[in-house]
Amino acid sequence: MSASPPPSRRMLLTAAVATPAAGLAGSLTSDGRDPDTTDRSGDGKAGSTSAGPGPGKADPAAPAGGSGPPFRPELPAEGLVTNEYAHGHPDAGDARLSPDWIVTSGSLFAHWAFGWTGVPDGEAPGPDSVPHTGSAVFRLVSRRQDFGDTSVRSWVFLKPPGATARTPARAWDGGHLWLRHHSAQELYALSFRRRDGMVVLKRKHPEPGRPVDEEGVYTTLATAHHPLDYGRWHRIAATVSTRGDDRVRIALALDGRAVLDAEDREPGRLTAPGGVGLRGDNTEMAFFGFTARGDAGHRRPAGGAYR
């Protein structure tokens, strides 16, 4: 299965003519920057619209090739893919199950072959996520749980965060990437666009001495200030790898620019493989070209083609 190119400006405008614009759809067609940019190296592959970290400096979060099978989930052109109702009622005849994704909260739609949260609200969705999406709390994780040393990349598009009666405005509202997701209590969370403009890496783990199914506790491992523009497509790329001394290194690049590069010296069970996914809080979000590859230790030089 080959990787899909990012959505072109022509694709967005064509879809806008053919489909009534609503919610995120209207914003997509007004985006002034086309994410379908050709790499200037001459190999014809998709490239970054932004400068890399600089001459002679490797991008620590560049997508990596690997020996394992890449995870490149495909979405239909339109419609509900899966939702939290399906997660809670997997044997129900009206449950929409996905072979690639599990939604533990909210709803995942396909819209013009993008993944889309729908317009967020705070109500629990039914089988068809109509009239409610529940996506003010959006939690998406891969069914595959074999991602160890891994690189993940995706195009993402976010609208400014709002709030609901269930989910008041908070500093961390926005978009987040999950790495080594073992459970809702044990994972790495990379916040790539928060309401407060911070980029944050956190480890979530069960509280010592408490039942493992209770809500976990977060430990902040690294922060930076790097607010992305809303209403535009951005490229996120992250790597996670376990070192020989049981340390875990995690790096993040946004639009080709290194933003975070940190080591977790107390990862515990998170040295082991897990799932990958996305989280959204009070935010309408779309994504495209989500890909996870094994062997995060294999790096490309800065300025190389974005694959």
99 has pLDDT over 70:
yes
Q: Answer whether the bond into residue 273 is a cis peptide, omega within 30°.
A: no
Tell me the two tokens of residue 111. Answer: 């819209």
Q: Could you tell me the pLDDT band of residue 207, with boundaries at 50, 70 and 90?
A: confident
Per the CB < 8 A criterion, the answer to whether 249 and 262 are in contact is yes
Provide the 3-class DSSP secondary structure of residue 163. coil
Q: What is the mean pLDDT of residues 263-278?
A: 97
Q: What are phi and psi of 146, to 5 degrees?
A: -110, 25
Q: How many helices (H) and strands (E) does the chain have?
A: 3, 15
pLDDT in tens, 290-303: 999 997 544 432 33
Whole-number Å distance between alpha carbons of 83 and 9: 29
- Please give the helix or strand (H or E) that residue 9 lies within, else none: helix 9-18
pTM (whole model) above 0.85 = no
Say how many C-beta atoms besides its own lie within 10 A of residue 69's C-beta.
12
The H or E element spanning position 157 is: strand 150-158
What are 16-56's pLDDT values in tens digits? 333 333 444 454 444 433 333 323 223 322 233 233 333 23
243 burial (CB, 10 Å; 0-12 / 13-18 / 19+) is middle
Q: How many angstroms separate the Cα of 69 from the Cα of each of 65, 146, 270? A: 10, 10, 21
The per-residue pLDDT for range 209-219, each reduced to its tens digit, is 776 667 789 99
Q: How far is CA 251 from the centre of its chain?
A: 14
